[in-house]
Amino acid sequence: VTLERGEDGWIVVECPALPGCLSQGRTVDEALKNIKEAILASLETRRAHGLPMGIDVAEVEVELPVTT
């Protein structure tokens, strides 16, 4: 999952492997608890409708060029 602090101070958490699966919380712990529930609901819905259970996700590293 990815975590990002929103403009309102809440932690926004997203599961990139499940498009549209996101949640939030006031704290990191709350956000992680909430995304677990969202992931479970998403997987149950996908299974019920015969949809893929997720997509492939990869992590890549990039280096920013040094600016002078």
pLDDT by residue, tens only, the chain of 68 residues: 999 999 999 999 999 999 899 999 999 999 999 999 999 999 999 999 999 888 888 889 999 999 87
Of 46, 48, 65, 63, residue with least CA distance to 17: 46
pLDDT at 57: 84
Q: Tell me how far apart the alpha carbons of residues 63 and 68 are, in angstroms, rounded to a whole number.
A: 15
Give DSSP secondary structure letters for 12-57: EEE-TTSTT-EEEESSHHHHHHHHHHHHHHHHHHHHHTT--S----
Q: Which residues pair with 2 in a beta bridge?
A: 14
Q: How far is CA 15 from the centre of its chain?
A: 2
